[in-house]
């Protein structure tokens, strides 16, 4: 599995409370909507107005290309998602009963969840949403609509539509989980995504193992852009491409990419946009690799974007890429910080606690920059990462480098929205920790992301002959663990002071404390009672924190303290904690370098999965009282092209006034090439 290189917004967002409120306060309203376990925010795009007209046009065209892909992800996430979304929207927009009734409110909440999850499953837990309105209400409302308002298949009646969708929406046993990672089960048959159909895990593995040549030094990303199905007993790959699966959406994307190509900032950018277009037109994964190389090498353009089938968290076997787009431009000032880090990449690699034989002799092309997101789409919307590191193919990363970015306007929006929510006061051990976090966390959080993305993922090497997929289902978790440990280890290093990136040698303690608190306790707010930890980033944080707790026990490095019936965590020895991080980093790198599946599995299963029900219940209770949404996401700004009498674009306007429901309905209306 090689598509693990995205950093999901961590619980950092919950614990940061900024000290300079007065300085940052503005009329800008970050909070947009609140439902279920979700808070929807909006983000600013500072600096957009200062871009050249050409750059604004480029961003405008790329935005259009981004929005055209929304339906693809809905369909990848589940075969009924688009029909369900259309049906729910038809009911919602035509409803003329009592909008204050409990049933309608529950219906509206469910629709908001479906929009947020890009389907009927939770974007993070992968569990199916539980509707709080009745199947009778749903049937009644659908049947009351004129048939032309419904997404009926050829010859289908409203009754038949209801009969098809009802179990999918209401029966908890039907399509229960979008991605199932439970050990010992058929992960393909038990996952409800639409990336495979009528095929077992064994058949999938056999199919791809046959295609793979273990001696191939530059393998394509097998299966990245296809649906694997069985037709007449034969296994067949259906490529996502113009004229193929999702062709109607891809052709629209290509239309806008061609416009973008015309206003490219330079030849390098023009070249990779052109290559991306031919990838979409042919579906050829060799072309995708050529595109990825051109893209990785374009480090001069200010405007940049991702548009394609990229991350594979939605596939239990980690092959199929979920469609996403992120359009952005470089934040020049903040980029100086990450450039300084990546200029020193070799020093960090040489001085890490990892065994020499697992280190890279030369760390290549770790480009790092801080970006301003201009639009989020597909798998980056509404829930969005705060950093990305692409391309994912290991050999391209090794031979041509990769781009690491942190998305500062998103991080800032999280911080601003989280101010004064009472979280630290409830969970931190004492004022000392709270003060340290207030003072340093907004900086150390950013640095942690920088180090994770710019250095962590790029560090270390596989021993010759080791299969990059050797760690199988544990690969994602262990890769994130490695990158996080690399970041944690160096946050406490004097090198950061020397480079002038941090100004206080104690600052790292704020991040260490938050990390341990989050890994052992507060991230459990995202897990339902009785459930295991499943998501890779959460597993990675739990693995690190639990391992450090256990291995530091003799020295009392981390301590659980009971006070007034509540559990608190106290870190007694930060220096020893750093040593422990270093030790675990060395071991994880060994596991990765040697492809030691057994050892990797043991670590994950022992430390990262099972939850202590007692502490879990306590955390959930305390957290519930704070009434904070555990998940956050964003609405996009609206971009409008201003044209002259000849239709030439003379300016692009940006507005921030759209609410969540309006945005979702507008996208469904204006950007829905896969629905009728
Ligand atoms: Zn990562």
* Average pLDDT of the chain to the nearest whole number: 92
Q: How far is the CA of 8 from the centre of ligand 1 (A)?
A: 7
Q: How far is the CA of 423 from the centre of ligand 1 (A)?
A: 25
Residue 416: what pLDDT? 74
Task: Tell me the percentage of the chain whose pLDDT exceeds 70.
Answer: 95
Closest CA to 76 of 219, 215, 246, 206: 246
Q: How far is the CA of 389 from the centre of ligand 1 (A)?
A: 7
Q: How far is the CA of 192 from the centre of ligand 1 (A)?
A: 25
Confidence of residue 627 (pLDDT cuts 50, 70, 90): confident
Confidence of residue 2 (pLDDT cuts 50, 70, 90): very low
| Distant-in-sequence, close-in-space partners of 262: CB < 8 Å, separation ≥ 6 | none
Residue 11: what pLDDT? 33
pLDDT, tens digit (0-9, with 9 covering 90-100), for 176-208? 999 999 889 999 999 999 999 999 999 999 999
Q: How far is the CA of 70 from the centre of ligand 1 (A)?
A: 24
Q: How far is the CA of 537 from the centre of ligand 1 (A)?
A: 8
pLDDT, tens digit (0-9, with 9 covering 90-100), for 600-612? 999 999 999 999 9
Q: How far is the CA of 329 from the centre of ligand 1 (A)?
A: 21
pLDDT, tens digit (0-9, with 9 covering 90-100), for 242-270? 999 999 999 999 999 999 999 999 999 99
Question: For residues 102 and 148, is the Cβ–Cβ distance under 8 A?
Answer: no
Q: How far is the CA of 456 from the centre of ligand 1 (A)?
A: 8
**Is 8 a residue whose pLDDT tops 50?**
no
pLDDT, tens digit (0-9, with 9 covering 90-100), for 542-571? 999 999 999 999 999 999 999 999 999 999
| Distant-in-sequence, close-in-space partners of 545: CB < 8 Å, separation ≥ 6 | 515, 516, 518, 519, 520
Q: Is the peptide bond before 669 cis (omega within 30 degrees of 0)?
A: no
Q: How far is the CA of 651 from the centre of ligand 1 (A)?
A: 37
Confidence of residue 240 (pLDDT cuts 50, 70, 90): very high
Residue 290: what pLDDT? 98
Q: How far is the CA of 210 from the centre of ligand 1 (A)?
A: 30
User: To the nearest 5 percent, what fractions of the chain are helix, strand and coil?
Assistant: 50, 15, 35
**Is 18 a residue whose pLDDT tops 60?**
no
Span 580-598, mean pLDDT? 98
209-218, 403-412, 608-617, 657-666: least confident range: 403-412
Q: How far is the CA of 95 from the centre of ligand 1 (A)?
A: 43
**Is 7 a residue whose pLDDT tops 70?**
no
pLDDT, tens digit (0-9, with 9 covering 90-100), for 97-141? 999 999 999 999 999 999 999 999 999 999 999 999 999 999 999
**Is 514 a residue whose pLDDT tops 60?**
yes
Span 487-497, mean pLDDT? 97
Q: How far is the CA of 610 from the centre of ligand 1 (A)?
A: 22
Cα–Cα distance list, 263 to 52, 68, 376, 639, 643 (Å):
11, 19, 21, 17, 16
Q: How far is the CA of 453 from the centre of ligand 1 (A)?
A: 6
Q: How far is the CA of 48 from the centre of ligand 1 (A)?
A: 28
Q: Which single residue is written with the structure tokens 């999850």?
A: 117
Span 653-669, mean pLDDT? 97
Helix, strand or coil, per DSSP, at residue 221: coil
**Is 54 a residue whose pLDDT tops 80?**
yes
**Is 1 a residue whose pLDDT tops 60?**
no
Residue 15: what pLDDT? 30
Q: How far is the CA of 7 from the centre of ligand 1 (A)?
A: 4
Q: How far is the CA of 275 from the centre of ligand 1 (A)?
A: 27
Neighbours of ion ligand 1 (CB under 5 A): 7, 480, 483
Q: How far is the CA of 574 from the centre of ligand 1 (A)?
A: 24
Span 65-70, mean pLDDT? 98
More confident residue, 527 or 368: 527
Q: How far is the CA of 539 from the centre of ligand 1 (A)?
A: 12
**Is 415 a residue whose pLDDT tops 90?**
no
Residue 12: what pLDDT? 33
Closest CA to 436 of 333, 367, 509: 509
Q: How far is the CA of 379 from the centre of ligand 1 (A)?
A: 16
């Amino acid at each position: 599995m090689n598509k693990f290189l995205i950093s999901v917004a961590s619980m950092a967002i919950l614990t940061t409370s900024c000290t300079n409120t007065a300085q940052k306060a503005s009329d800008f309203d970050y909070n947009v909507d609140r439902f279920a376990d979700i808070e929807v925010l909006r983000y600013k795009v500072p600096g957009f107005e200062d871009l050249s007209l050409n750059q604004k046009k480029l961003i405008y065209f790329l935005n259009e290309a981004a929005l055209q892909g929304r339906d693809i992800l809905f369909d990848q996430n589940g075969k009924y998602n688009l029909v369900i979304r259309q049906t729910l929207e038809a009911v919602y927009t035509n409803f003329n009963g009592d909008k204050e009734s409990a049933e309608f409110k529950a219906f509206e909440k469910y629709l908001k969840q479906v929009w947020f999850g890009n389907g009927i499953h939770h974007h993070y837990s992968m569990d199916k949403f539980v509707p709080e309105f009745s199947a009778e209400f749903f049937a009644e409302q659908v049947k009351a609509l004129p048939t032309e308002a419904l997404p009926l298949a050829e010859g289908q009646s409203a009754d038949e539509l209801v009969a098809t969708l009802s179990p999918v929406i209401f029966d908890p046993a039907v399509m229960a989980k979008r991605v199932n990672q439970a050990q010992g089960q058929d992960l393909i048959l038990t996952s409800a995504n639409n990336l495979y159909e009528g095929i077992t895990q064994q058949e999938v593995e056999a199919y791809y193992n046959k295609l793979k040549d273990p001696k191939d030094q530059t393998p394509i990303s097998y299966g990245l852009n296809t649906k694997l199905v069985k037709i007449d007993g034969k296994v067949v790959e259906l490529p996502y491409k113009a004229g193929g699966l999702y062709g109607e959406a891809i052709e629209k994307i290509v239309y806008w990419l061609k416009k973008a190509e015309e206003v490219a900032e330079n030849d390098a950018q023009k070249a990779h946009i052109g290559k991306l277009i031919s990838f979409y037109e042919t579906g050829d994964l060799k072309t995708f690799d050529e595109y990825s190389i051109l893209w990785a090498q374009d480090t001069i353009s200010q405007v940049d974007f991702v548009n394609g089938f990229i991350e594979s968290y939605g596939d239990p076997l980690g092959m199929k890429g979920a469609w996403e787009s992120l359009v952005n431009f470089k934040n020049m000032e903040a980029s100086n910080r990450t450039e300084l880090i990546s200029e020193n990449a070799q020093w960090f690699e040489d001085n890490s606690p990892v065994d020499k034989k697992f280190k890279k002799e030369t760390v290549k092309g770790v480009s790092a920059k801080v970006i301003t997101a201009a639009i989020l789409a597909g798998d980056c919307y509404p829930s969005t990462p705060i950093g990305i590191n692409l391309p994912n193919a290991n050999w391209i990363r090794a031979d041509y480098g990769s781009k690491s970015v942190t998305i500062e306007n998103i991080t800032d929006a999280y911080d601003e929205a989280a101010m004064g929510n009472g979280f630290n006061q409830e969970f931190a051990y004492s004022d000392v920790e709270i003060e340290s976090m207030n003072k340093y966390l907004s900086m150390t959080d950013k640095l942690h992301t920088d180090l994770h993305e710019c250095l962590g993922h790029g560090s270390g090497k596989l021993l010759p002959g080791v299969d990059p997929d050797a760690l199988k289902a544990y690969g994602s978790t262990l890769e994130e663990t490695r990158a996080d440990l690399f970041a944690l280890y160096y946050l406490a290093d004097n090198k950061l002071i020397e480079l002038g990136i941090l100004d206080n040698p104690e600052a790292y303690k704020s991040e260490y404390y938050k990390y341990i608190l989050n890994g052992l306790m507060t991230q459990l707010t995202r897990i339902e009672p009785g459930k295991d930890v499943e998501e890779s980033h959460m597993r990675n944080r739990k693995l690190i924190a639990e391992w450090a707790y256990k291995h530091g026990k003799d020295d009392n490095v981390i301590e659980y303290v009971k006070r007034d019936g509540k559990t608190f965590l106290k870190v007694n020895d930060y220096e020893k904690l750093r040593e422990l991080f270093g030790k675990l980093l060395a071991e994880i790198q060994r596991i990765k370098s040697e492809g030691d599946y057994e050892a990797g599995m043991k670590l994950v299963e022992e430390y990262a999965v099972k939850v202590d029900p007692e502490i879990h219940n306590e955390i959930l209770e305390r957290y519930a009282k704070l009434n904070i949404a555990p998940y956050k996401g964003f609405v996009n700004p609206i971009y409008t092209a201003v044209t002259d009498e000849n239709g030439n674009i003379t300016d692009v306007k940006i507005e921030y006034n759209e609410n969540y429901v309006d945005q979702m309905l507008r996208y469904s209306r204006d950007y829905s090439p896969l629905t009728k």
